[in-house]
Chain A
Amino acid sequence: MPANRRGRHLARAAAAGALALVMTATACTGAGQIEEGVPADLDVAPGVTDDSVVIGAHHPLTGPAAPGYLSISRGASAVFDYVNEQGGVNGREIDYRAEDDAYDPSMTIDVTRELVIRDEIFAMMGGLGTPTHSGVIDYLNDEGVPDIFPSSGALAWNNTEVHPLTYGWQADYTKEAKVQGEYIAEHFPGQSVGYLYQNDDVGVDSQAGLDQYLEDEVVARQHYESEVTDLSAQIAELDRAGADVVVCSCIPAFTAMGMLEASRIGFDPQWMVSSIGGDTATLQGLLQEFTSDTPAEGTPADAFLEDTLVTTYLPRVEDPEDEWAQFFIDVYEEYGGEDQITNTHIFGMSQAVMFAQALKSAGPDLTRQALVDALENEEWRGPGHVPFASSDGDHGGHEGVFVVQHQSDGTQDWVQEARVTDREDGPIEQVEGFDRATPEELEFHD
């Protein structure tokens, strides 16, 4: 049967040909050996028209991470609505598209491609999460999409050699921990310190900073996994080790859980909480939720939070005298959802203000290069309380933190002015000559 044989030959030829093609393509180079390509062309302006500019972000809008972090994109959205109401930026309305990735890295990749390819975003603004954003940072830089202010304090965002288009935002975990460590060493000398941290880069980077000041005082290092919602073993161990001060490098849910568990077993340390888990408004909500149907039901949240030290760099809802805090409360009242504004909202709102400011500085002839130039040359003057780095190879974002202490009546005392430092072992310095602009002075809309 010649036809039959021909068919078989054809099959073999096709298979062999295809196999050979793949073999030659993959056999010579190792799968992990990347050659640096040519940098992407930045003199382009996708997503920009005469009256609008499209920007994107990936956020957990569903799933377990959503309740805590949904507020960030809502806050940003409210500010952009406000900006658009004022006439936009250089005559352009900001079209902000926050896509849901459910905090799942594989979904982040999909929604990011969707934003870049289909929505043709001009820039990415505030993509949330370390594991999620890590998966798209290479892609964004390769495609030449400015990756502005990722919502995470990982050190990886400030690496201009590899990711020149990524501009960090949050005071990174090490900087923040150094200031915490110094504060504890100064104000609680000789006291035993315990660490409670999330077992990922948050924990590693935070300890790198804390240990510079507290290495000899540490009596316990306890970690948790964000998938396991139980801290009883960790808190018991901190209690057993006799920690007088507990530094919590945790997300809000675990800060609340830790405080509840400690109070349940009668352990009453001095808490020091990082900005990521120190949004007291969010904590109050969580504490209320966690205590319902337990013997502690009805205990005011402030009873748990009393005396807690929190490091932060942004305006806070607890500080309504602050012009920016007042401005954000007003804006959210008018343009936000029905939910109560928290410091997590302010996180997203501050990002939005600073992004709009850079967009304004980039001028009417908007290209990606113009935006990058604007970021490199911007003179930042708030809303944050600390200087901000986005130039000369340092894309570190907020350069330091200040310390507040929560009071039993729900107010907060400012106990240490902002201090700045680096992420290595450099000194911690007080901020000098940082002049914040008021919401009226700052040019971030038309």
Chain B
Amino acid sequence: MSTTTGQRPEPSTEAASTPPPSLPERWRALPLPARNLLGAAAALLAVIAFLAVTGDLTALRLATVGYTFLAIAGLQLLVGGSGQISLGHGAFMMIGAYSMALLVLHLPMLPLATNLLIVVAVSAVAGIAVGAATARLHGPYLAGATLILAVGLPGIAHRYHDLFGGSNGLNIRTVGAPPFLDGIVTTSEWRALVVWFTVLLVLAALATISGGRLGRRMRAIRDDETAAAMSGIPVGRTKVVAFVIASAAGGLAGGLQAYVLGTVTPSSFSLVLSLTLIAALVLGGIGSLWGALWAAVAIVYLEVWASDLAKVMDLDHNVQHNLPIVLFGVVLILVLRFWPLGLHGGLQALRNRIARR
């Protein structure tokens, strides 16, 4: 996915007018949305190619990486971009997932694309409600307020047992690959494709936002709220907008999760999920959307690799089953000790060192 460099805001574009344009210059001359979309298309091709050479199990995991990536990307925009810390991101995933499940159960005739749009709308509305209420809070106070959301929301599924199915949650079945792709694409692969198509489309939008005026305003607020206000940036509104974008991304990720897994339960959206998302973002690198990708890969694959490793090493049962959790912690500590900017920061430092030689 090397072509997605467009997702990083380029420092300047003043070099675009030299007479014989070289390839990188031509690339830079493209408007940001086009660059991001091209990058997303290339990434989608890479995903398709990857799916073609791997099997069904990888397809499921790839889909998991996809929607986790989206959720963390939204969080990155919020935390890394605007400096607001949310510990309740999992709650928005839950809102999205339950919206999706309820739509499929009660309005089965709606196509998936419509469902996803509704899911985005619902979670954006939830984001506006929460964001407007918490816009005056910052730092630990905002973290505390959003923490309540992560702790409290699963309770609603228990309280309204008939609608949300209590602790057993809701099970849905959704259509698989369209008939004309029968035999070419399996249902799991199709789902992974749908997920990545949606995720990359939204990521192109997020990268564009991040690189544009709104992103600049958010970073100004992150660095110094007073200075930003004095420069004429509407602080409160920008913060709410950032919160709403993050909520919508989280909700959409939840909706995609419900689509892939076909089951939603309150226990999947516990406080642990919200904390894992933010811990993984720190691990991946809080300063860039790329960090969100590494974070998603880490969440999904560290666990898989750790349990495979434990099996190979033939450890005691208790050790074996707790190894994944320990490994995640150890990796997080090590990465932060040696690469304070996360995996992405580390990779960048590495690249710079190689470029200098």
Contact = CB atoms under 8 A, between A and B. Distances in A.
Given A23-B113, A135-B262, A227-B167, 7 more contacts: A4-B30, A31-B108, A32-B109, A103-B267, A104-B268, A113-B188, A131-B263
Contacts of B37: 11, 14-15
Given A7-B30, A34-B175, A109 B60 contact: yes
B122 interface: no
B261 A131 contact: no
A30 B110 contact: yes
Contacts of B216: none
B241 interface: no
Interface string A72-109: 00000000000000000000000000001001111001
23 contacts: A4-B26, A18-B41, A26-B111, A26-B175, A30-B109, A31-B103, A34-B173, A34-B175, A103-B267, A105-B263, A106-B263, A110-B61, A118-B57, A131-B167, A131-B265, A131-B267, A135-B171, A135-B263, A199-B158, A199-B166, A199-B167, A200-B166, A225-B167
Contacts of B26: 1, 3-4, 7
Nearest to B182: A37
A264 interface: no
A114 B57 contact: yes
A394 interface: no
B140 interface: no
A8 interface: yes
Given A14-B41, A110-B60, A31 B174 contact: yes
A152 to B, nearest CB: 10
Contacts of B61: 110
B29 A1 contact: yes
Given A61-B317, A104-B267, A227-B167, A31 B57 contact: no
Interface in A217-240: 225-227
A62 B267 contact: no
Contacts of A33: 108-109, 175
A113 B169 contact: no
A contact patch SS: helix
Contacts of A14: 37-38, 41
A105 B265 contact: yes
Interface of A: 1, 3-4, 7-8, 10-11, 14-15, 18, 22-34, 61-62, 66, 100, 103-106, 109-110, 113-114, 117-118, 130-131, 134-135, 138, 198-201, 225-227
The 3 closest A-B pairs by CB, nearest first: A32-B108, A135-B263, A30-B109
B307 to A, nearest CB: 8
A37 to B, nearest CB: 9
B321 A61 contact: yes
Nearest to B55: A117
Contacts of B115: 31
Contacts of A7: 26, 30, 34, 38
A66 B257 CA distance: 25
Contacts of B175: 26, 29-34
Contacts of B21: 1
A100 B304 CA distance: 12
B168 interface: yes
Contacts of B57: 113-114, 117-118
Contacts of B188: 113
Nearest to B190: A25
A200 B171 contact: no
A23 B113 CA distance: 7
